[in-house]
Amino acid sequence: MSHTVAEERPVEHGDALNLIRTAIAEAPGLEAAAQRAVELLHDRFAHYDWVGIYWLDATGTELVLGPWIGPEATEHTRIPLGSGICGAAAASGQTEIVADVNADPRYLACFTSTQSEIVVPIFADGQVTGEIDIDGSDLAAFDETDARFLEEIAALLAPLRPRDGQPSAA
Ligand code: SME
């Protein structure tokens, strides 16, 4: 018997995908839609302690923090491509799962509570245009199931990049 991808997807991931799809369709604008998406991810998954979207700027050299939700603001509101785990994922176009941030020399520290991190690139027309960054306060909080789910979320977020990648507040 063959299984489709949809059958193997955990039910909570399917529910969140549907909610986020609806929230994006109903939001009054791109930024509100992206904000609602990070809020839904944060609220529905207990291990998603800090959830943010970085957009690549117009020059393609810097990531600029867009909507985020979590206990604290990050000082890393702009990250050069190639710097940190965020910059690595944007440069390579590969999802990064870091089980122990303190053991990864690339890690740019934001919060003392963070133990692990997942960064999932967002693509448009085959090019990286941004990424989802999630911090966890447990070691190894994220696995391949999170990666596949967040890659589907990333596809929903791709049309929400602001013009030139600059959020209105940046
Ligand atoms: N830790 C990230 C920087 C962004 S903060 O986690 C929000 C990194 O190493 O790139």
What pLDDT score was predicted for residue 165? 73
Closest CA to 117 of 103, 125, 126: 103
What pLDDT score was predicted for residue 6? 52
Second-level CATH architecture of 10-165: 2-Layer Sandwich (3.30)
Q: pTM of the prediction?
A: 0.93
Low-confidence ranges of the chain (pLDDT < 50): 170
Which residues, listed in sequence order, are joined to residue 120 by a DSSP beta bridge? 132
What pLDDT score was predicted for residue 19? 97
Q: Dihedrals φ, ψ of 146, to 5°?
A: -60, -40
The residue nearest atom 6 of ligand 1, judged by CA position, is 110
Q: Alpha carbon of 96 to those of 10, 24, 145, 161, 166: distances in Å?
A: 21, 25, 13, 21, 24
What pLDDT score was predicted for residue 170? 46
- From 48, 50, 53, 76, give the residue whose CB has the most ligand 1 atoms within 8 Å, as the site to mutate: 76
Question: Which atom of ligand 1 is closest in space to residue 86's alpha carbon?
Answer: 10
What's the gap in Å between 12 CA and the centre of ligand 1?
26
Take residue 118 and report the two structure tokens written for it.
């997942």
What pLDDT score was predicted for residue 4? 56
Q: Where are the domains of the chain?
A: 10-165
In eight-state DSSP terms, residue 84 is: H
What pLDDT score was predicted for residue 2? 52
What pLDDT score was predicted for residue 27? 95
Chain segment 47-84, per-residue pLDDT in tens: 999 999 999 999 999 999 999 999 999 999 999 999 99
Q: Dihedrals φ, ψ of 56, to 5°?
A: -75, 135
